[in-house]
Structure 1
Amino acid sequence: MVSYFWKTSTFFDDFKKELTSNTIQSIKIASAYISIKGAQYLKETIEALNLTAENIEIYCSSSFNEHEPEKILKLLSTFSTVYIVNEPFLHTKVYEIHTEDLIVTYSGSANLTEGGLFNNFELTVKSESTKNQLEEFWDDLWQLCIEVNEEVIALYQQYPKEVLDEITQKKIASIKKQLNTVYEKQCTQSYYPDLKDFYFNVADYSILAEKYWEDGSSAIRLQRKDTQKKLFTLNEEIEPFAKKLDLYPHYRPEHLTSGIDPSPFNFYRVTGIWMRYGKDKSELDFFGQKGFGEKSSPYQQFHKHACLQLSIGSEGLNVGMFHSTASDGVDRGHVDDHWYEVKQKIENIYNDITGYEFVWHIYSNRENRLHAYFAIDSGTAQEFIDFYRKYDMDGFESFCMRHYDVDDERIKTERNIINEVYETFEAILPLYKAMTFRIPVDVR
């Protein structure tokens, strides 16, 4: 059934009639513009329905009112959940009522203003259906929205109320830009679970998301610095433990973690931050005496050698063994040169590394692409050996990791993380020893 309203007040009169003659479950309204009187009329109309704010959703444009926007948002927030669409401009006027049996929809030209509801010559179409014909519309609209909270209302308190000129236009543009920041923050918070009691929080993970990989701004760097400091704190306990396993951090303290700035060394992308524990500097010196620089031997560089690693990325933590860089990996060469001996060692210790959810990855850093992977728990020693020989090759990074999702209780606290590192390092150590060239302690 379809009805049309164009005479003044008739649309809103029918809207009120539907609200009072049915058992209402929820209301959704999308209006480009909202006035204080329009908001007051709506509140008075639905006050007797005993609906909670979660059952009433109101969507508006970022320029919904130029005179008293913060007052309107405060009023609407007392009885509804309010959303603002900053970009693109929302020009829709839709009023939808969900009853027990029907969905009643009004769409047309009438904004939630006194003029739109009572004074203007508007055209509104009413339809009734047992199906939600606009479900996809509301879903798409919600994806664009900023939920109004105290932070958003505070921004609208700054909204200029004088005649629009170049200065006030700049002020409005600044507010819209800040709204975009709020939007990004809310999107991030909705993507991640609640991590307020976790050692690493949403900011630590989200700053390593793909959209920030190439970002070298000071604000992003400061957050990476905060995350890096948390790794430094973990290292205070991990380093002494690692040394008992004959594993050592980078011999230069400033390189305890990977870089936090986009650079040629990470293909101008900060995809994660990690700490590695591997060979002692005396072992690295065996491969070349020169330090960093254009003429330095690549084999002396710490990252060219296998190590055990703790890393953080946008999806959580990874702990395990880093086997080889894409090129000039010392221990990849060692495995190739001593394949039959290494193969036998892998067969002997393989069962010892099962049960920990280790996954071996073959990854192209240059292309940012996973080339192949092997789940240690799901295969046999021979299947892993066949996988390694087929896929581990120059041009790809190679590593075996145990993954922890961001909300994994095993990494909730600093103590939890350290204990997981201890357990994982001890579990993967036999494989590390089997596939890594080490100089005996007594001859270093």
Structure 2
Amino acid sequence: MSRTGSSPASDFPLSGVPEELARPMLPHLEAAAVEMIREIQSLVPEYARPPESRYGQRMRWAVEQSVRQFVDAIGRPDVDWETITAIYRRIGAHEAREGRSLDGLQSAIRVSGQVACRRFIREARRLGWSLDTLGMITESLFVYLERIAGAAGQGYARAQGELAGERERSRWRLRDLLVADPPASAEAIGELARSAGWPVPKTLAAVAVRPDPDRAVPVLPPVLLADWHADDPYVLCPDPDGPGRDRMFAAIRGTRSAAIGPTVPPARAALSLRWARRGHALVERGVLPGKEPLRCLDHLPSLVAAQSEELLDVALGSRLAPLMRLPPHRRDALSRTLLTYMENRDNAVAASERLQVHEQTVRYRIRRLEETLGGVLLDPDRRIELLILLHYLVRLDSGDRRLSSGDG
């Protein structure tokens, strides 16, 4: 385990070396730092920067501080490590913010240690150190290198945590910006997406979901943006008609129900979410099927009709008054037959197969409807209107508000 704070003398053998041993080394500290920098730049590609560059100058300063701190610690049991460990915590944090690993820094520390060992061996010969003294110095060197490497790791980990928090907050802001109405500009989306580390897709789809209360919400890939805590939770899925489709379905597999909005450019995500929520509301009402994720574009008539329920409810009593006055069971059979017949291009055979009744039953009901509704069935200008009304009556409306008045 790395040690980065102050420690007793027993943890750092250099404190047992006579303090006067440091004096002959002081004139050679700058040369030692220069040799270390030259070796680092030769062996560690990440640090092969021009000496006059800002990066090169900062590296030289850090190496010089490291060398001086080590020599100053000779013979001192009360060494304050905070100065040097703070330097390396900052260096580790800088590497994290630049998106680099600690491999280069760890290599540079090892290279510095190798240079220091070579120089200490030369110093031992020059100054006549004993083997015990040389052993204490080299042992202390390894403790020192461990200490500064540990400090760099601490700074790196802390900065990574801060960056992750900042990136997650940017993702939340981006998610909210995408579904804002009126929509944000592509420039605003792109700028925030860069901060969030989110590649802007060509298309996306919003998925309205209802999480299963008995299960934890799914852990999503970073490319998916979700708001599980909204009153109506949702997920934004990039590229829903391509490779992103698998991620989308994996994300919503653990939910109780889901509705997929139309695929749109990112700037129109609010539109996709609006229709996804409308489709999901119909699923929760039991109007549309909910066993599988609902694709809203596969249910356009129901979604369009659901947005005009008040108008259609009034129009039923006006446009289809003779049909609405029939008893509920007869009205239901005739309405379903006529809607299916029209959806099958007025083909009685195809309608009978879908309704699972005899072909003659379909023809009989259509004749009854012609008698009941008069010329409405034959008027081409009324056909779209009739389809919408029938779709609303059969697929969306339970008829509860009209049963008593319809039979009265």
Task: State if a TM-score over 0.5 links the two structures.
Answer: no
Which structure has the larger Rg over C-alpha atoms? 2
TM-score (norm 2): 0.28
Higher helix share: 2
TM-score (norm 1): 0.26
